[in-house]
Chains A and B, each alone.
Chain A
Amino acid sequence: MIGSFNLVGLIVDAIAIGTVYLLGCIGETLTEKAGNLNLGIPGIMCCGALGGGFGIWLCSDKCTDLAASPAYMYVLVSILCSMLFAAAAGLIYALFTVTLKANQSVVGLVLTTFGIGVFRFFAKKINKDIIFSGAHYYFKNLFGYEGDNIFGKIFLSHGILVYLAIIIAICAAFLLNKTKVGLNLRAVGENPATADAVGLNVSAYKYAFILIGSSISGLGGLYYVMDKSDGTNFTEAAIDSFGWMAVALVIATMWKPLVSIFGSILFGAFYVMPAYLPLSRNMNKLFAIAPYVITVVVLIVIRFMNQKNNQPPASLGLSYFREER
């Protein structure tokens, strides 16, 4: 039995699904570090996916002959549009939670409903043939690796967004821990009154990192549509469950981007595990609950290793009003 267990395949698949989590998680981590709990991540991911599709449509519309347009143009424009759409959704969230000081969870929920609705509505308007016809291949297998080497399969066989996600995670970790901007951002999330008193523009930081966080999360949606599901799932919003998992992953990885690289692969492994186990079809159906059960278990375990340095930002979920008396 053990001999037939395809560990390499599992890892490759885990990285693939983990990338959706990772992008969502890094985006949410940056947002939460600014003190904002964004439950709109599923909606934002949907907007990101929609933006990506829009980008491809934009390219193909400009160049009627698909084959003539260079591949990198598709990827670049698609990524930019994806981030732009997601940031627009993030802007709505920021407007309501920062400027209008509305309840963050409630706004997040509305944004999720709204974002999924927008995605489904407009996804139908975009001609899917363009995406089916091969644009999604540009996102896959960056190094063109086709061999059977274990190292190559695990490290070289992925699409561009996988590597981009890891680079973003490393950049986010550097930004948070080693730079002045990161220090300021953490101060805003921990204690906005203090940040305000030392002259930081709390609202500007919140806006900036909600927008940056959203556009990174949006890439998770793009990745899911273009790479993970080969451009075939453009009408389906399975993205919402991934969005919530990403939010859970933020807590599970204790707001540490470097930890989330490994956390996301682990969560990904749990997600794809049933397919790699010798299970009857019935059991396979039942095992679909596994990733969610394990997420809950991880949340509980993390709670029990509770320490001073894995706490959420102290002002998470609260809106800041300077003249509160």
Chain B
Amino acid sequence: MENRIALELKNISKHFGKIQANKNVSLDVREGEILSLLGENGSGKTTLMNMISGIYYPDEGEIFVRGEKANITSPKSAFSYRIGMIHQHFKLVETFTAAENIILGTAEKYDLKYVNSRVSEIAAKYGFDINPKKMIHEMSVSEKQTVEIIKVIYRGADILILDEPTAVLTPQEIEKLFTILRNMKNDGKSIIIITHKLNEVLAISDRVSILRKGEYVGTVNTSETNEKELTEMMVGAKINLEINRVKIEKKNPLLEIRDLTILKDDGSIAIDKVSFYIRSGEILGVAGITGCGQKELCEAIAGLHKITSGSIVHGGESIVGMSSKDIIRKGISMSFIPEDRLGMGLAPSFSITDNMMLKTYGEGKTPFVDRNSARERAKALIEKLGIVTPSTETPVRRLSGGNVQKVLVGREIESGPNVIITAYPVRGLDINSSYQIYDILNEQKAKGTGILFVGEDLDVMLALCDKIMVLCHGKMMGIVNADHVTKEELGLMMTGAVNLNEEQKDKNFGIARDSQLTPEQWAEEEKKAGKENR
């Protein structure tokens, strides 16, 4: 028997300035059902859901909740319709406890004892694991997500919207989340889950609705579809999902890192005795849950983060203690994309031209900057990578995500580096732009550049990288050949359930047999490193 329709959207449209985020979208979700909302990045999924949860107000169209026309003007009025949204970027107050976050904005009294007991009740009912007295800033990502979900259930929501809930979780945590979602579904709740991961869509949902470029494509029953069909609906034309891995003949280790230990700014350990090496013409992937020391590792190699102990050797010469300027001069280049794309490597209000000369402005003997040659280079880059921009003088923050990314990666490559460190280079990009970036990286690899690729999508890493190093809480869990490993194995290593270092002690992961330095020189390096940091 079909269940009642809980939520129905009719012809919803929304635009931001010139950008049409949603156009004539109609879909519905029933009670006791999990609906996947599938679409590429930038296809308008989040905008659509934000209109249901009252963050935005639709320009046109109607929303019906349990059969009645609803006017959702604010998050509060969304709650009054018993709609709750779990945002991708958690909306939690870091300095509050879980319980304080949960009652925030409710009409309830400030009685934490009562809240704690009710939270425990909800946790027991659906299978959550939570300590309501814990501060948010002390929690892991998955714990924070738990707080977010309990928060909306606590308010009596029975239409739940989850925006990319699995993006930051390990495969094991994802399984746990799915169990909870199924428990909630059996309790009669309606769940909309936004994602672009096809396997998850197939695993969890009853039906799938697909958006493409802000427009509604259609809805299919999960049991009657497959990955291929969904991909076609999502991207339109059929595209080749294969990334061509260029095979390069083995060369000398270019960058060798041994026993590297780095502390975070707050004094806790970010990277714990990690050793690895990158050969020229090789892409080494770094897998791990966000915040496992990837940021610190990249910054340390680029000379931006202090090293506690260990050695970094580039082309047979130690670069520990060198200034970042000298490291750039040695041909090590970094394009780091933290959560906010423009945070490092680019100056958002500067023009493309000015961003082009960030690394080269100091050249020449005059006290003046040479803007003309930078403008020429900017023009060349715009042409070569097909960057969409009104002019070379447009501030980069006015460009779209993919174009910003192209400016950043393009500039790095233009300087002719021999090592590229790149973290999350395709975060937030659509498929086409992502592939362009992969192509650029492969092109560089073919030229003999060594690439350190910090990524999050395991499928992409398996296809693109030659080897993958897995980090878990700053410890290296092993380095595996991308051809001989599965996603599940990587997932187990990411959570620390499997540690190849322990299992295969004889293998000496991360130590190159044909190192550029002799064992004596390494001993020397270690001695020096020890002295420097004492």
Direct A/B contact, Cβ within 8 angstroms: yes
Instruction: Indicate whether B522 reaches chain A with its CB closer than 8 angstroms.
Output: no
A196 at the interface (CB under 8 A from B): yes
Given known A187-B104, A198-B104, contact A322–B55 (CB-CB < 8 A):
yes
Given the known inter-chain contacts A178-B110, A179-B110, please indicate yes or no for A196 contacting B95, CB distance below 8 A: no
Identify which of residues 237-258 in chain A touch chain B, using a CB-to-CB cut-off of 8 Å: none
Selected from A178, A179, A190, A322, the residue in CB contact (under 8 A) with B95 is: A190
Task: Please determine whether B56 and A323 come into contact, CB atoms closer than 8 angstroms.
Answer: yes
A197 to B91, CA, bound (A): 7
Q: Which residues of B contact A309 (CB under 8 A)?
A: 95
Q: Once the chains bind, are A195 and B105 in contact (CB under 8 Å)?
A: yes
Contacts of A193 in B (CB 8 A): 91
| B305 interface contact, C-beta 8 A | no
**Contact partner, B104, options A183, A201, A308, A325, Cβ 8 Å:** A183
Number of A residues near B (Cβ < 8 Å) is 25
Are A187 and B75 closer than 8 Å at their CB atoms?
no
CB of B79 within 8 Å of the partner chain: yes
Considering the chains assembled together, what is the distance between the CA atoms of A308 and B104 in angstroms?
21
The chain A residue with its CB closest to the CB of B105 is: A198
Interface contact A314-B94, CB-CB below 8 Å: yes
Chain A, residue nearest B137 (CB): A308
Q: Is B93 an interface residue (CB 8 A)?
A: yes
- Contacting pair A184 B91 (CB below 8 A): no
A88–B37 Cα gap in the complex (Å)? Answer: 49
| Bound CA span A186–B105, Å | 12
CA distance A311 to B105 in the complex (A): 23
A325 to B400, CA, bound (A): 11
**Distance in Å: Cβ of A325 to nearest Cβ of chain B:** 6
Residue among B76, B85, B103, B104 with max Cβ neighbours from chain A (10 Å): B104
Residues of A within 8 A of B78 (CB): 199
**A203 to B137 Cα, complex, angstroms:** 26
Q: Are B94 and A183 neighbours in the complex by a CB distance under 8 Å?
A: no
- Once bound together, how far apart are the Cα atoms of A178 and B92, in whole Å? 20
Q: B74 near A199 (CB under 8 angstroms)?
A: yes
List CB contacts (< 8 Å) of B59-110 with chain A.
Answer: 74-79, 85, 87, 91-96, 100-101, 103-106, 108-110
Q: Does B114 contact A (CB under 8 A)?
A: no
In chain B, what residue has the closest Cβ to A325? B16
| Contact, CB under 8 Å: B85 / A197 | yes
Report yes or no: B96 in contact with A187, Cβ–Cβ below 8 A: yes
Chain B residues whose CB sits within 8 angstroms of the CB of A325 once the complex forms: 16
CA–CA, A199 and B72, complex, Å: 12
B91 and A191 form a contact (CB under 8 A):
yes
* Closest CB in chain B relative to A242 CB, distance in Å: 30
- Which residues of chain B are near A323, meaning CB under 8 Å? 16, 56
In the complex formed, the residue of A with least CB distance to B151 is: A198
Bound complex: CA A200 to CA B155 (Å): 14
| Complex Cα–Cα for A236 and B361 (A) | 53
| In contact, B75 and A197 (Cβ under 8 angstroms) | yes
The answer to whether A180 has its CB under 8 Å from any CB of chain B is yes
Render A280-297 as a binary contact track against B, CB cut-off 8 A, 1 for contact. Answer: 000000000000000000
Chain B interface size band reads 20 to 34
Write the chain B residue with the least CB distance to A309. Answer: B95
When chains A and B are docked, how far (Å) is the Cα of A191 from the Cα of B94? Answer: 8
Q: Within 8 Å of chain B (Cβ to Cβ): is A194?
A: yes
Cα-based distance from A196 to B78 in the complex (angstroms) = 12
B100 touches A183 (CB 8 A): yes
A314 CA to B93 CA, complexed, in Å: 9
Roughly how many angstroms separate A186 CA and B100 CA in the complex, as a whole number? Answer: 11
Given contacts A179-B110, A199-B79, contact A191 B92 (CB under 8 A): yes
Cβ-defined contact, B110 with A191, below 8 A: no
Closest chain B residue to A323 by CB distance? B56
Bound: A201/B103 CA distance, A: 15
Q: Report chain A residues within 8 Å CB of B85.
A: 197
Q: Verify B91–A198 contact, CB threshold 8 A.
A: yes
Contact status A187-B93, CB under 8 Å = yes
Which residue of B has the minimal Cβ distance to A181? B110
Query: What separation, in Å, do the CA atoms of A235 and B87 have in the docked complex?
Result: 55
Q: Which residues of A contact B108 (CB under 8 A)?
A: 180
Contacts of A308 in B (CB 8 A): 95, 137
B397 nearest CB across to chain A (Å) = 12
Do A199 and B75 have beta carbons less than 8 Å apart?
A: yes
Q: A208 vs B210: C-alpha distance in the bound complex, in angstroms? A: 44
Produce 1/0 per residue, B116-138, CB < 8 A to A: 00000000000000000000010
Q: Are A195 and B104 in contact (CB under 8 A)?
A: yes
When chains A and B are docked, how far (Å) is the Cα of A198 from the Cα of B79? Answer: 8
What's the Cα separation between A135 and B87 when bound, in Å? Answer: 59
In the complex formed, the residue of A with least CB distance to B56 is A323
Say yes or no: A184 contacts B105, CB within 8 Å: yes
**Is A199 a contact of B105 with CB atoms below 8 Å?**
yes
A186 touching B55, Cβ below 8 Å: no
Please report the C-alpha to C-alpha distance between residue A103 and residue B166 in the assembled complex, in whole angstroms: 37
Convert B453-478 into 0s and 1s, putting 1 for each residue whose CB lies closer than 8 angstroms to a CB of A. Answer: 00000000000000000000000000
- When C-beta atoms are compared, the residue in chain A nearest to B102 turns out to be A198
CB nearest neighbor in B for A189: B93
Compute how far the CA of A167 lies from the CA of B85 in the bound complex, rounded to whole angstroms: 41
- B77 / chain A contacts, CB cutoff of 8 Å: 199
B75 close to A196 (CB less than 8 A):
yes
Residues of the B chain whose Cβ atoms lie less than 8 Å from the Cβ of A184: 104-105
Taking CB as reference atom, which chain B residue is nearest A191?
Answer: B93
C-beta contact mask, A298-325 vs B, less than 8 Å → 1, else 0? 0000000000110100100000001101
Among B16, B93, B106, B108, residue most surrounded by chain A Cβ atoms (within 10 Å) = B93
Chain A residues with CB below 8 A from B75, complex form: 196-199
A197→B79 CA distance, assembly (Å)? 10
B109 adjacent to A194 (CB under 8 Å): no
Contact of B94 among A190, A199, A201, A322 (CB under 8 A): A190
In the complex, chain A residues whose CB is within 8 Å of the CB of B96? 183, 186-187, 190
CB distance from B335 to the nearest CB of A (A): 23
Q: Which B residues are CB-close (under 8 A) to A194?
A: 91-93, 101, 104
Chain A hits for B53, CB < 8 A = 197
The residues of B that contact A322 with a CB separation of less than 8 Å are 55
Cα A72 to Cα B163 with chains together (Å):
60
Q: How far is the CB of B55 from chain A (nearest CB, A)?
A: 7
Is the pair B95, A199 in contact by a Cβ cutoff of 8 Å? Answer: no
The smallest C-beta distance from A186 to any residue of chain B, in angstroms, reads 7
A324 to chain B, nearest CB (A): 11
Cβ of B525 to closest chain A Cβ, rounded Å: 36
- Across the interface, which residues of A come within 8 angstroms of B110, CB to CB? 178-180, 183
Bound CA–CA A195/B91 (angstroms): 8
8 other A-B residue contacts (CB within 8 Å) besides A178-B110, A191-B93, A194-B101: A180-B108, A183-B96, A194-B91, A196-B74, A197-B53, A198-B79, A199-B79, A314-B94
List 28 A-B residue pairs with CB atoms under 8 Å apart, sorted by A's residue number.
Answer: A180-B110, A184-B105, A186-B93, A187-B93, A187-B105, A190-B93, A190-B94, A193-B91, A194-B91, A194-B92, A194-B93, A194-B101, A195-B93, A195-B105, A196-B55, A196-B75, A197-B53, A197-B75, A197-B85, A197-B87, A198-B75, A198-B106, A199-B77, A199-B78, A200-B76, A314-B94, A314-B95, A323-B56
* Smallest CB-CB A-B distances: 8 pairs: A199-B76, A198-B105, A194-B91, A197-B91, A180-B110, A199-B105, A190-B93, A199-B75
